[in-house]
Structure 1
Amino acid sequence: MSFPIDSNLKNLNVSNEKFIQTRVFQSKVFDTRYLQETAIGGNVLLVNIVSYIKDNNTDKERFLNANRSRRFKCIFSFLYSVYVSALDEQFRKKLETANIFLSLVEKHWEIGNNFFDRERFKKNYTARWNRFKKSQIINDKNTETDTNLLDINSMVDTLDKIKTVLDFCFQFQNSESLNYIKKNVMSIFNKKMEIINSKFLKLKIYSKKPINIDQIKIGYEKILRYNEKLGNKLNKSEFRDSFQDVIEEIFFKNNLENPFLKFDKIPSSYFGITYKDQNNKRNYYVSIGAIILYDSFKLDQVIEKFIIYNQILPKIRLTKGSKDLYMLIGCLSGYDKKCFIKGRAIINKASVELAAEINDICILND
């Protein structure tokens, strides 16, 4: 006897499939991770396995059965890294998430339906995830000054080496290790500034200078004064921070991309400021992929933390809107643009020119 499929379950699966498709595949996260693993990481075995199963459909079973354990481990390790870094733990707990993910992988690689052993993937994922959580446990009683379990200097070095959002999400997927960063972010930031200052004093040609977070607030004040000088009214709202309207209006008039996105619309490679509307109130976040690093109803506080996290994660690049906001605030606060360049990112002249215009208007009207 067959039973009808629950329509609610079917709709939920369709919704989850669209979410995974957007976050993992349309955003190029899957392809980027594959290139990192193969072209950059030199995983020749993974290249050979994927090439073979894509080109030899009739001989896949015999190929994989030979040395099956090693080949499955290679494929699984790659899929696991994408699965846990692109999709947060709560989402992975949803019904059929693993099945949908594997189906989309099969579709993306054009290797036929049900090629991957679902049950084996789930068992291996569960075992590996549980081992990871146990190995990453950090005492919740840690404070900003208690660094016995995890040294601040080591954390500065670790964060400095992270190059992508996916790498960060994968390395700090455990909630307790992530909480350590959140609790100690100011200590990490201060140590990072000490290191930059030391290098600057020793090497006068060193391009970076330490950032004083109190000085960053000058940038906010200049934006508000600039908005006022243009004759724009500051429309106060109980629903959202009016500072968002001011920045968005300025960015729009200067053909810059919006630096604020809805949290549920961001790609998994996103690093910037997002928001959610709940109970007639807008909450702002510093987001890195699906991870929320900081939240507040006050946008200026979130921008401040956004600056701090970008200083301690110097190699993770920003999307256009986020990059322009980061550069604009830095230039308005009196810092050289070199202090706010992420890696080898190309500077958008429009944001630097906007900062110069705002500075000029503020000086003329002092």
Structure 2
Amino acid sequence: MKIAILAGTRPEVVKLAPVRAALAARTGLEPVWISTEQQGALNAQALETFGITPDIRLDPPSPERTLGGRFAQIMDRLDDVLGRLEPRLVLVQGDTSTTAAGAMAGFARRIPIGHIEAGLRTFDLDQPFPEEGWRCVVGQLAALHFAPTEAAVRNLLRGGVARDRIHMTGNTGIDAVRLSGARATPAPLVNGLRRVLVTVHRRENWGPELEQVLAALVLLRDRVADIEIVFAAHANPALRGRVDAALRGQDRIRIVEPLDYLGFLSHLKSATLVLSDSGGVQEEGPVLGVPVLVLRDTTERAEAVEAGVARLIGTRTGAVVEAAVDLLTREPERLRMVRAVSPFGDGFAADRIADILSDWSPDRAPGGDQIRAAV
């Protein structure tokens, strides 16, 4: 059974690489990796890390186009390749433009959709934007929903998805940490200083929110004398320019170039604390026993907050400084968040997905008849 795996961003590559390996190990399943090149260099970096050569590589969407224009380009190119490839199933992951465009292209071609990391919701279309909208769209189109947690299952049921379409598997991002963790040794500390790792890239934080976070980092450096703040830069040039203007040359604040997956795990392993608006970091930090302060007002990964290994703190300067200082100066408080537990699975989600697909047939798939009738 030919299965098209669609990916074009670093998170998709990280979370789909274990799935590709698990499918390839099963008799009768033929994974075909289609790279949309949505993220360019970051996508290539992740493919190299996992030793993946795409079976089909599409032209990248134009950076000059709007969000909708790039989405349309990805969908148009995927429509063409899916028409030629004729897979029995299209697998998409998460909530990127590739995810939603791929699901819509597959649906229009009457090909069943499998959604990995299904059911994540904030129930606020503005946070995160556009990801919340993209995953809601896929939630209506998918024939198979691979949900990472019980909360994700409940969200899908709340959205009207039939129970027999939903499979709780865990999150494949935890598989990636399990399979790659031994290759990432902790990055050396500088002058014995404790490391505070920071990432900011969400679209909703591109405005004044970024300025508030950057101001908070300088104040945090001034308040806690034995830390080094490491800001893992994002490839977006507009964001990078503002980060450089605020932090470049600051004592005990270091900006590092965009890290590959193993490089990021290395820095995370050696961190005392991580501040991030990334969804993936909310999953990876708890596995490695690093407390996560989430630079957002809402999260689709509330399980980490409920487990006590992450805290939602927003982006206001005062709130960021207060939360970080609290954990950096009160070690018992920080240690309560250092549990090295994962509320997102045990690291074997990809095997469960492969087992499910080994027994699955598109002819008797839940929703298969509805898909064909609707089109």
Same fold (TM over 0.5): no
The normalised TM-score by structure 2 is 0.29
**Which structure has the highest strand share of the two?**
2
Return the index of the structure with the highest Cα Rg: 1
Structure with more helix by fraction: 1
Q: TM-score, normalised by structure 1?
A: 0.30
